[in-house]
Amino acid sequence: MPSLLVLHGPNLQALGAREPVLYGTLTLAAINERLVTLAVRSGVALQVYQSNIQAKEQHTDFIVINPAAYGHTSIALRDALLAVSIPFIEVHLSNTYARESFRQRSYLADIATGVIIGLGVQSYELAVEAACQRINNEFSQ
């Protein structure tokens, strides 16, 4: 049987409740149900997947994120990070300022607690150390 994958982007789990004037009142589950019905009628297997920042549901206190190219291109990722209201550090393995001009702009930097770039794996290590320190400071107060 042929198969089809439908990918839903960030924040769409809130459909039905999130700004219904703009997005309607159907939930993502209801939309998926309709899509499965259409696919089954056509003899196609359908999988659906929704990508989101699940940090609130996991009781996350801080985020370290390597957005890769999404940092330079994704307003949706910015909106998702703003929606969860959890402090985060943006990490990049390469020095984005030494690369193409379009990589020198980040849609996340101005809302990030900090940005660490260009230090390879050490970028992650420094971000995790800083995040742990901030979490521990917050919980010790």
Catalytic residue among 8, 23, 70, 124: 23
CA-closest candidate to residue 126, choices 64, 73, 53, 42: 64
Q: Mark whether 23 is an active-site residue.
A: yes
- List the catalytic residue out of 8, 49, 59, 92: 92
State the Cα–Cα distance between residues 96 and 71, nearest whole angstrom: 10
Closest of 10, 125, 15, 8 to residue 75, by C-alpha: 10
107-134 as b/e: b if 16+ CB within 10 A: bbeeebbbbbbebeeebbebbeebbeeb
59 part of the active site: no
Q: Residue 139, exposed/middle/buried by CB under 10 A (0-12, 13-18, 19+)?
A: exposed
**CA of residue 85 relative to chain centroid, distance:** 12
- Give catalytic residue positions: 23, 92
